[in-house]
Protein backbone atom coordinates (compact mmCIF):
# COMPACT_ATOMS: atom_id res chain seq x y z
CA UNK A 1 0.00 0.00 0.00
CA UNK A 2 1.12 3.57 -0.70
CA UNK A 3 2.39 5.61 2.26
CA UNK A 4 0.04 8.40 3.38
CA UNK A 5 1.90 11.65 3.83
CA UNK A 6 1.08 14.94 5.56
CA UNK A 7 1.32 17.39 2.69
CA UNK A 8 1.31 21.18 2.85
CA UNK A 9 0.23 23.05 -0.28
CA UNK A 10 0.87 26.79 -0.10
CA UNK A 11 -1.35 28.73 -2.50
CA UNK A 12 -3.60 25.67 -2.33
CA UNK A 13 -6.80 27.65 -2.90
CA UNK A 14 -5.54 29.02 -6.22
CA UNK A 15 -5.99 27.63 -9.71
CA UNK A 16 -3.15 25.05 -9.76
CA UNK A 17 -3.12 24.55 -5.99
CA UNK A 18 -6.76 23.49 -5.84
CA UNK A 19 -6.23 20.85 -8.55
CA UNK A 20 -3.22 19.58 -6.63
CA UNK A 21 -5.34 19.43 -3.44
CA UNK A 22 -7.93 17.34 -5.34
CA UNK A 23 -5.34 14.84 -6.56
CA UNK A 24 -3.56 14.42 -3.22
CA UNK A 25 -6.78 14.21 -1.17
CA UNK A 26 -8.04 11.60 -3.65
CA UNK A 27 -4.82 9.61 -3.12
CA UNK A 28 -5.60 9.56 0.61
CA UNK A 29 -2.90 11.91 1.87
CA UNK A 30 -3.47 14.35 4.74
CA UNK A 31 -3.59 17.65 2.91
CA UNK A 32 -3.09 21.06 4.51
CA UNK A 33 -4.07 23.85 2.15
CA UNK A 34 -2.58 27.22 3.12
CA UNK A 35 -3.68 30.44 1.42
CA UNK A 36 -4.26 34.13 2.11
CA UNK A 37 -6.98 34.27 -0.61
CA UNK A 38 -5.26 37.08 -2.52
CA UNK A 39 -6.00 35.58 -5.94
CA UNK A 40 -7.39 32.21 -4.85
CA UNK A 41 -10.62 31.60 -2.96
CA UNK A 42 -12.39 29.18 -0.66
CA UNK A 43 -14.79 28.29 -3.46
CA UNK A 44 -11.95 26.44 -5.23
CA UNK A 45 -11.64 23.96 -2.36
CA UNK A 46 -15.09 24.16 -0.73
CA UNK A 47 -15.95 20.68 -2.08
CA UNK A 48 -13.04 19.27 -0.02
CA UNK A 49 -13.93 20.97 3.27
CA UNK A 50 -15.93 18.08 4.74
CA UNK A 51 -13.22 15.49 4.06
CA UNK A 52 -11.35 14.14 7.10
CA UNK A 53 -8.00 14.30 5.27
CA UNK A 54 -8.31 17.98 4.22
CA UNK A 55 -7.66 21.17 6.22
CA UNK A 56 -7.70 24.80 5.14
CA UNK A 57 -5.51 27.41 6.84
CA UNK A 58 -5.80 31.15 6.16
CA UNK A 59 -2.27 32.46 6.46
CA UNK A 60 0.03 34.91 4.70
CA UNK A 61 3.24 33.13 3.74
CA UNK A 62 5.29 36.27 4.30
CA UNK A 63 4.92 35.37 8.01
CA UNK A 64 6.55 32.20 9.40
CA UNK A 65 4.36 29.25 10.36
CA UNK A 66 5.21 26.04 12.21
CA UNK A 67 3.53 22.84 11.04
CA UNK A 68 4.38 19.15 11.14
CA UNK A 69 4.48 17.91 7.55
CA UNK A 70 6.35 15.42 5.35
CA UNK A 71 6.10 17.27 2.04
CA UNK A 72 5.61 20.90 0.95
CA UNK A 73 4.43 22.11 -2.46
CA UNK A 74 5.23 25.84 -2.50
CA UNK A 75 2.79 27.52 -4.89
CA UNK A 76 1.81 30.69 -3.02
CA UNK A 77 2.32 33.67 -5.34
CA UNK A 78 0.01 35.56 -7.67
CA UNK A 79 0.75 34.35 -11.20
CA UNK A 80 -1.14 36.69 -13.51
CA UNK A 81 0.69 39.89 -14.54
CA UNK A 82 -2.23 42.17 -13.59
CA UNK A 83 -2.35 40.69 -10.09
CA UNK A 84 1.38 40.38 -9.38
CA UNK A 85 1.89 43.96 -10.62
CA UNK A 86 -0.85 45.38 -8.38
CA UNK A 87 1.40 45.24 -5.31
CA UNK A 88 4.86 44.42 -6.68
CA UNK A 89 6.68 44.80 -3.36
CA UNK A 90 4.33 42.25 -1.84
CA UNK A 91 4.96 39.92 -4.81
CA UNK A 92 8.69 39.97 -4.11
CA UNK A 93 8.05 39.41 -0.40
CA UNK A 94 5.76 36.47 -1.10
CA UNK A 95 8.31 34.77 -3.36
CA UNK A 96 11.38 35.50 -1.27
CA UNK A 97 10.10 35.54 2.33
CA UNK A 98 7.70 32.73 1.45
CA UNK A 99 10.58 30.60 0.16
CA UNK A 100 12.70 31.37 3.23
CA UNK A 101 9.82 30.52 5.58
CA UNK A 102 9.00 27.27 3.80
CA UNK A 103 12.65 26.21 3.41
CA UNK A 104 13.19 26.94 7.12
CA UNK A 105 10.19 24.76 7.92
CA UNK A 106 11.41 22.00 5.58
CA UNK A 107 14.83 22.11 7.25
CA UNK A 108 13.33 21.96 10.75
CA UNK A 109 10.91 19.09 10.16
CA UNK A 110 13.02 17.38 7.42
CA UNK A 111 10.26 17.69 4.83
CA UNK A 112 10.72 17.34 1.09
CA UNK A 113 9.92 20.64 -0.62
CA UNK A 114 8.95 21.47 -4.20
CA UNK A 115 9.05 24.98 -5.63
CA UNK A 116 6.59 26.11 -8.31
CA UNK A 117 9.05 28.12 -10.38
CA UNK A 118 8.25 29.51 -13.78
CA UNK A 119 9.27 29.93 -17.40
CA UNK A 120 9.45 33.64 -16.51
CA UNK A 121 12.89 33.01 -15.06
CA UNK A 122 13.99 32.84 -18.75
CA UNK A 123 12.59 36.37 -19.25
CA UNK A 124 12.36 37.39 -22.92
CA UNK A 125 14.41 34.42 -24.09
CA UNK A 126 17.14 34.63 -26.71
CA UNK A 127 17.36 30.82 -26.81
CA UNK A 128 14.45 28.94 -28.32
CA UNK A 129 13.05 26.51 -27.22
CA UNK A 130 14.13 27.02 -23.61
CA UNK A 131 16.23 24.34 -21.93
CA UNK A 132 16.97 24.24 -18.22
CA UNK A 133 20.62 25.24 -18.72
CA UNK A 134 19.65 28.59 -20.27
CA UNK A 135 20.22 31.39 -17.72
CA UNK A 136 17.64 33.74 -19.12
CA UNK A 137 17.27 37.33 -20.28
CA UNK A 138 15.51 39.19 -17.50
CA UNK A 139 15.14 42.92 -16.92
CA UNK A 140 15.87 43.66 -13.25
CA UNK A 141 13.92 46.93 -13.13
CA UNK A 142 10.83 46.45 -15.30
CA UNK A 143 7.19 45.90 -14.36
CA UNK A 144 7.51 42.10 -14.63
CA UNK A 145 10.70 42.02 -12.54
CA UNK A 146 8.91 41.69 -9.18
CA UNK A 147 7.65 38.30 -10.31
CA UNK A 148 10.61 37.17 -12.44
CA UNK A 149 13.32 38.20 -10.00
CA UNK A 150 11.30 37.04 -6.98
CA UNK A 151 11.04 33.60 -8.55
CA UNK A 152 14.70 33.61 -9.56
CA UNK A 153 15.74 34.48 -6.01
CA UNK A 154 13.46 31.72 -4.71
CA UNK A 155 15.30 29.21 -6.93
CA UNK A 156 18.61 30.50 -5.55
CA UNK A 157 17.34 30.03 -1.98
CA UNK A 158 16.22 26.48 -2.76
CA UNK A 159 19.66 25.52 -4.03
CA UNK A 160 21.47 27.30 -1.18
CA UNK A 161 19.34 25.56 1.47
CA UNK A 162 20.04 22.32 -0.37
CA UNK A 163 23.82 22.84 -0.43
CA UNK A 164 24.10 24.47 2.99
CA UNK A 165 21.47 22.59 4.99
CA UNK A 166 20.89 19.42 2.98
CA UNK A 167 17.21 20.31 2.47
CA UNK A 168 15.59 17.80 0.12
CA UNK A 169 14.42 20.04 -2.76
CA UNK A 170 12.64 19.86 -6.12
CA UNK A 171 12.27 22.79 -8.54
CA UNK A 172 9.82 22.76 -11.46
CA UNK A 173 9.65 25.55 -14.03
CA UNK A 174 6.04 25.78 -15.11
CA UNK A 175 5.12 27.12 -18.57
CA UNK A 176 1.71 28.74 -19.24
CA UNK A 177 -0.93 26.42 -17.82
CA UNK A 178 -4.70 26.80 -18.19
CA UNK A 179 -7.89 24.99 -17.32
CA UNK A 180 -11.04 24.99 -15.20
CA UNK A 181 -10.98 27.11 -12.00
CA UNK A 182 -8.99 29.94 -13.51
CA UNK A 183 -10.72 33.00 -12.11
CA UNK A 184 -12.88 34.84 -14.67
CA UNK A 185 -10.96 38.01 -13.74
CA UNK A 186 -7.61 36.23 -13.58
CA UNK A 187 -6.31 38.39 -16.42
CA UNK A 188 -4.24 35.71 -18.14
CA UNK A 189 -4.75 35.21 -21.83
CA UNK A 190 -6.72 31.94 -21.99
CA UNK A 191 -9.33 32.92 -19.41
CA UNK A 192 -9.57 36.50 -20.75
CA UNK A 193 -10.21 35.32 -24.31
CA UNK A 194 -12.73 32.64 -23.28
CA UNK A 195 -14.70 34.93 -20.96
CA UNK A 196 -14.88 37.66 -23.60
CA UNK A 197 -15.77 35.20 -26.38
CA UNK A 198 -18.59 33.69 -24.33
CA UNK A 199 -19.98 37.18 -23.67
CA UNK A 200 -19.57 38.19 -27.36
CA UNK A 201 -17.34 41.07 -26.21
CA UNK A 202 -14.22 42.23 -28.07
CA UNK A 203 -11.12 40.09 -27.56
CA UNK A 204 -8.07 42.27 -26.94
CA UNK A 205 -4.80 41.05 -28.42
CA UNK A 206 -1.77 42.90 -27.10
CA UNK A 207 0.81 43.93 -29.72
CA UNK A 208 0.45 42.34 -33.17
CA UNK A 209 -0.42 38.95 -31.66
CA UNK A 210 2.68 37.34 -33.19
CA UNK A 211 4.25 36.68 -29.77
CA UNK A 212 4.09 32.97 -28.90
CA UNK A 213 3.22 30.88 -25.86
CA UNK A 214 2.94 27.12 -25.31
CA UNK A 215 -0.14 26.14 -23.34
CA UNK A 216 -0.33 23.16 -20.99
CA UNK A 217 -3.60 21.72 -19.70
CA UNK A 218 -3.82 21.67 -15.90
CA UNK A 219 -4.19 17.88 -15.46
CA UNK A 220 -0.96 17.24 -17.36
CA UNK A 221 0.89 19.81 -15.28
CA UNK A 222 -0.34 18.41 -11.95
CA UNK A 223 0.76 14.92 -13.01
CA UNK A 224 4.24 16.30 -13.76
CA UNK A 225 4.48 18.06 -10.39
CA UNK A 226 3.50 14.94 -8.47
CA UNK A 227 5.97 12.79 -10.44
CA UNK A 228 8.70 15.29 -9.62
CA UNK A 229 7.88 15.24 -5.89
CA UNK A 230 7.89 11.43 -5.89
CA UNK A 231 10.99 11.11 -8.08
CA UNK A 232 14.48 10.26 -6.86
CA UNK A 233 16.04 12.66 -4.30
CA UNK A 234 19.12 13.12 -6.53
CA UNK A 235 16.94 14.76 -9.17
CA UNK A 236 16.43 18.25 -7.76
CA UNK A 237 15.68 19.88 -11.11
CA UNK A 238 15.17 22.57 -12.18
CA UNK A 239 12.98 20.83 -14.71
CA UNK A 240 10.68 22.38 -17.31
CA UNK A 241 7.02 21.33 -17.21
CA UNK A 242 4.83 22.50 -20.07
CA UNK A 243 3.37 21.59 -23.41
CA UNK A 244 5.84 22.23 -26.26
CA UNK A 245 3.10 22.91 -28.84
CA UNK A 246 3.68 26.61 -29.60
CA UNK A 247 1.03 29.06 -30.84
CA UNK A 248 0.88 32.77 -31.55
CA UNK A 249 -1.57 34.71 -29.40
CA UNK A 250 -3.53 35.52 -32.54
CA UNK A 251 -3.86 31.80 -33.31
CA UNK A 252 -5.13 31.24 -29.77
CA UNK A 253 -7.74 33.97 -30.20
CA UNK A 254 -8.91 32.48 -33.50
CA UNK A 255 -9.16 28.96 -32.02
CA UNK A 256 -11.25 30.21 -29.10
CA UNK A 257 -13.57 32.17 -31.41
CA UNK A 258 -14.03 29.08 -33.55
CA UNK A 259 -14.77 26.66 -30.69
CA UNK A 260 -17.16 29.04 -28.94
CA UNK A 261 -18.83 30.17 -32.18
CA UNK A 262 -18.58 33.69 -30.74
CA UNK A 263 -19.53 36.92 -32.51
CA UNK A 264 -16.64 38.73 -30.73
CA UNK A 265 -14.24 40.85 -32.78
CA UNK A 266 -10.48 40.82 -32.30
CA UNK A 267 -9.12 44.25 -31.39
CA UNK A 268 -5.52 45.25 -30.80
CA UNK A 269 -3.93 47.15 -27.88
CA UNK A 270 -0.29 48.11 -27.15
CA UNK A 271 2.03 45.35 -26.01
CA UNK A 272 2.85 45.65 -22.29
CA UNK A 273 6.46 46.38 -21.32
CA UNK A 274 8.86 43.39 -21.38
CA UNK A 275 6.22 41.00 -22.74
CA UNK A 276 8.25 37.94 -23.87
CA UNK A 277 8.26 37.50 -27.66
CA UNK A 278 8.42 33.73 -27.60
CA UNK A 279 8.17 30.83 -25.19
CA UNK A 280 8.39 27.09 -25.70
CA UNK A 281 9.66 24.49 -23.25
CA UNK A 282 12.20 21.84 -24.14
CA UNK A 283 10.81 18.99 -22.04
CA UNK A 284 13.37 16.30 -22.87
CA UNK A 285 14.71 16.36 -19.30
CA UNK A 286 11.23 15.78 -17.78
CA UNK A 287 10.69 12.93 -20.23
CA UNK A 288 14.07 11.34 -19.49
CA UNK A 289 13.91 11.65 -15.68
CA UNK A 290 10.18 11.44 -14.94
CA UNK A 291 8.85 9.72 -18.06
CA UNK A 292 6.48 12.67 -18.28
CA UNK A 293 5.01 14.42 -21.26
CA UNK A 294 1.66 16.16 -21.68
CA UNK A 295 -1.20 14.30 -23.33
CA UNK A 296 -3.95 16.93 -23.73
CA UNK A 297 -3.82 18.91 -26.97
CA UNK A 298 -4.80 22.56 -27.04
CA UNK A 299 -8.18 22.06 -28.77
CA UNK A 300 -9.26 19.40 -26.29
CA UNK A 301 -8.07 21.41 -23.29
CA UNK A 302 -9.78 24.56 -24.56
CA UNK A 303 -13.06 22.67 -25.02
CA UNK A 304 -12.92 21.48 -21.41
CA UNK A 305 -12.03 24.94 -20.15
CA UNK A 306 -14.75 26.61 -22.22
CA UNK A 307 -17.23 24.05 -20.84
CA UNK A 308 -16.22 25.09 -17.33
CA UNK A 309 -16.63 28.81 -18.02
CA UNK A 310 -20.04 28.17 -19.62
CA UNK A 311 -21.23 26.69 -16.32
CA UNK A 312 -19.99 29.57 -14.13
CA UNK A 313 -20.72 32.65 -16.25
User: CB of 204: closest distance to ligand UDP in angstroms?
Assistant: 5
Q: How far is the CB of 276 from ligand NAD (least distance, A)?
A: 12
Interface residue list for ligand NAD (CB under 6 A): 11, 13-17, 35-40, 60-62, 75-79, 94, 116, 118, 174, 176-177
Residues that bind ligand UDP (CB under 6 A): 80-81, 176, 188-189, 192, 204-206, 211, 213, 249, 272, 275
Q: How far is the CB of 90 from ligand UDP (least distance, A)?
A: 18
In whole angstroms, how close is the CB of 308 to ligand UDP at the nearest point? Answer: 17
Partner interacting with residue 191 (select from ligand NAD, ligand UDP, none; CB below 5-8 Å by kind): none
- When the beta carbons of 171 and 189 are compared against ligand UDP, the nearer one is 189
Indicate if 134 belongs to the active site: no
Nearest approach, Cβ of residue 263 and ligand NAD (Å): 28
DSSP collapsed to 3 states, the chain: CCCCCEEEEECCCCHHHHHHHHHHHHCCCEEEEEECCCCCCHHHCHHHCCCCCEEEEECCCCCCCCCCCCEEEECCCCCCHHHHCCCHHHHHHHHHHHHHHHHHHHHHHCCEEEEEEEHHHHECCCCCCECCCCCCECCCCCCCHHHHHHHHHHHHHHHHHHHHHCCCEEEEEECCEECCCCCCCCCCHHHHHHHHHHCCCCEEEECCCCCEEECEEHHHHHHHHHHHHHCCCCCCCCEEECCCCEEEHHHHHHHHHHHHCCCCCEEEECCCCCCCCCCCECCHHHHHHHCCCCCCCHHHHHHHHHHHHHHHC
What is the bridge-based pairing of β-strands 239-241 and 54-58?
Answer: unpaired
Residue 272 near which of ligand UDP, ligand NAD, none (CB within 5-8 Å, type-dependent)? ligand UDP
Q: Which position among 73, 84, 147, 178 bears the catalytic label?
A: 147
Specify whether the CB–CB gap between 292 and 239 falls below 8 A. Answer: no
170 binds, among ligand NAD, ligand UDP, none (CB under 5 to 8 A by kind): none
Looking at the Cβ atoms of 45 and 249, the one nearer to ligand UDP is 249
Nearer to ligand NAD, 183 or 264 (CB): 183
Q: Which does 81 bind (CB under 5 to 8 A by kind): ligand UDP, ligand NAD, none?
A: ligand UDP
Q: How far is CA 218 from the centre of its chain?
A: 9
Pick what 204 binds: ligand UDP, ligand NAD, none; C-beta below 5 to 8 Å, kind-dependent. Answer: ligand UDP
Residue closer to ligand NAD by CB (options 62, 259) is: 62
Looking at the Cβ atoms of 25 and 203, the one nearer to ligand UDP is 203
Instruction: Write out the catalytic residue numbers.
Output: 147
Amino acid sequence: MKTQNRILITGGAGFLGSHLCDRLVEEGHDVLCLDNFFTGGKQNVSHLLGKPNFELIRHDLVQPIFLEVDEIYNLACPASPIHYQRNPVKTVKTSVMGAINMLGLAKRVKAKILQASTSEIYGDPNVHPQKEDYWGNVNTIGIRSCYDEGKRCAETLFFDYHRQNMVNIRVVRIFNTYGPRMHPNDGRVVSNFIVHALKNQDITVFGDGMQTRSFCYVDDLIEGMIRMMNGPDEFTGPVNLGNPAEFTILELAEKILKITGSRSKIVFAPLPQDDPRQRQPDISLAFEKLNWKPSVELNEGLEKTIGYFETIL
